[in-house]
């Protein structure tokens, strides 16, 4: 049996469910999808996270400047921990690792290493396809990475 092919919009809609179900004002954020890793140095925060997180949906906005990182699993699209908010009050720094890889750190010791792909193949339990997020990544870099980069 052939796996269903999803459009970029269908993939985005499937991924949105994780963010939208956990963030009350989810409509205020633009979203980008990344692979990577997380470190939660605060035991109270770590206790609400699954281990070995490798997929992240990042909601971001310019006013007020904020990034909300929601870990998730694939191919079953579900949250794997409590989302982390990084904003002007707790952003320690951001830094570039490569053209599409970045680090985000907060003052409480939480850090993320995130890699984005402009056209990323995503496999969900509903099917797979290519998520087109090229313009969104450029916007994310401008709004979040460049604003807090040291």
Q: Rounded to whole angstroms, what are the CA distances from 89 to 15, 18, 36, 93, 107?
A: 28, 25, 24, 11, 9
What's residue 149's pLDDT?
A: 81
Angle at Cα 76 formed by Cα 124 and Cα 58, nearest 5°? 80
As a whole number of angstroms, the distance between CA 5 and CA 26 comes to 27
Angle subtended at Cα 134 by Cα 53 and Cα 93, rounded to the nearest 5 degrees: 55
CATH match of 8-148 with 2.30.29: yes
- Cis previous bond, 145, omega within 30: no
Give the pLDDT of residue 26: 92
Domain range list for the chain? 8-148
pTM over 0.85: yes
Give mean pLDDT in consecutive 10-residue pieces for the chain, a chain of 150 residues: 88 95 94 97 90 96 96 96 96 94 96 98 96 97 88
């Amino acid at each position: 049996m052939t796996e269903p092919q999803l459009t970029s919009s269908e993939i985005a809609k499937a991924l949105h469910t994780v963010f939208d179900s956990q963030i009350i004002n989810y409509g205020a954020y633009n979203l980008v999808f990344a692979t990577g890793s997380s470190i939660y140095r605060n035991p109270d925060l770590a206790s609400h996270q699954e281990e070995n997180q490798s997929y992240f949906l990042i909601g971001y906005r310019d006013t007020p400047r904020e990034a909300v990182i929601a870990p998730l699993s694939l191919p079953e699209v579900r949250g794997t921990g409590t989302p982390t908010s990084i904003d002007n009050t707790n952003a320690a720094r951001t830094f570039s690792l490569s053209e599409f890889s970045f680090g985000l750190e907060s003052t409480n010791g939480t850090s993320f290493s995130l890699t984005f792909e402009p056209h990323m193949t995503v496999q969900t339990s509903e099917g797979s396809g290519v998520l087109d997020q090229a313009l969104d990544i450029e916007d994310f870099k401008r709004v979040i990475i460049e604003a807090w980069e040291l």
